[in-house]
């Protein structure tokens, strides 16, 4: 199947889709974001705080479309919301809840670092509205587990909570605090041995490439 990739730019949300015609339709839900109208079996990618999709999510969307011939991959660009890193987890969680009603399931959500909180907002609102946990697959890549300075251990109680299909890939080899995979439930995969050759903050980003290359079979996606 010959897939043509299109990029639709919307305030707050970038949708990368291989569509045969045009862009997906959107309707604003908050000042910072637009809702993505998606079909079943979608994949949603969520970047971390203080960055945009250009660091890895945009390339990841293209790689998934190429490798799996899927025509619906969405990237939630919450760079404006997450610019203030300290406040990003809480803001991301609220944004996720605001967008949840626009997400069609089943869906796979792949989120990195503080983006895990936006993903959890999607999950919590979905479950509270009567949605089924089995309709969402959650993949957290070295998630930042503090929700606020006064809630440093919230991730251990909230992230991946209530999820039947949740996997957290993490490393303890980087100096970034609260990224040691302390989540509420699901399978946890420690990548310390696989990333032993890296130093500084590099392992935090290498978790992304490890997942896409080793688990999904794509090319590397991190551009920083």
CATH number at residue 82: 3.40.50.1820
Q: Mean pLDDT over residues 168-197, rounded?
A: 93
Residue at 221 is within a domain: no
Residue at 222 is within a domain: no
Q: How many CB atoms lie within 10 A of CB 180?
A: 18
d(CA 180, CA 41): 30
The predicted model scores a pTM of 0.83
Residue at 42 is within a domain: yes
Give the CA-trace dihedral at 180, 181, 182, 185, to 10 degrees: -170
Residue at 223 is within a domain: no
Q: Domain containing 77: what range? A: 5-215
Give residue-wise pLDDT tens across range 122-135.
999 999 999 999 99
Give residue-wise pLDDT tens across range 72-88.
888 999 998 888 888 99
Residue at 165 is within a domain: yes
Exposure string of 3-24, with b = 16+ CB inside 10 Å and e = fewer, is eeeeebebebbbbbbbbeeeeb
Q: How many domains does the chain have?
A: 1
Residue at 30 is within a domain: yes
Q: 109 pairs with which residues across the strands? A: 44, 138
Residue at 147 is within a domain: yes
What is residue 7's three-state secondary structure?
Answer: strand
Residue at 224 is within a domain: no
Q: How many CB atoms lie within 10 A of CB 175?
A: 10
């Amino acid at each position: 199947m010959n897939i043509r990739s299109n990029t639709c730019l919307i305030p707050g949300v970038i949708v990368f889709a291989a569509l045969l015609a045009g862009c997906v339709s959107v309707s604003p839900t908050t000042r910072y974001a637009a809702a993505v109208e998606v079909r079943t079996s979608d994949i949603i990618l969520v970047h971390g705080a203080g960055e945009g999709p250009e660091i890895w999510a945009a390339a990841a969307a293209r790689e998934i479309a190429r490798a799996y011939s899927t025509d619906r991959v969405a990237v939630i660009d919450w760079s404006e919301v997450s610019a203030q890193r300290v406040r990003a987890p809480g803001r991301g969680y609220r944004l996720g809840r605001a967008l949840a009603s626009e997400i069609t399931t089943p869906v796979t959500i792949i989120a990195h670092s503080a983006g895990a909180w936006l993903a959890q907002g999607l999950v919590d609102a979905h479950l509270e509205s009567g949605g089924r946990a089995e309709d969402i697959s959650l993949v957290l890549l070295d998630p930042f587990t503090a929700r606020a300075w006064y809630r440093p251990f919230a991730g251990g109680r909230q992230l991946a909570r209530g999820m039947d299909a949740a996997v957290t890939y993490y490393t303890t080899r980087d100096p970034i605090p609260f990224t040691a995979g302390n989540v509420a439930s699901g399978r946890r995969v420690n990548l310390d041995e696989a990333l032993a050759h890296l130093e500084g903050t590099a392992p935090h980003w290498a978790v992304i490439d490890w997942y896409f290359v080793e688990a999904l079979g794509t090319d590397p996606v991190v551009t920083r």
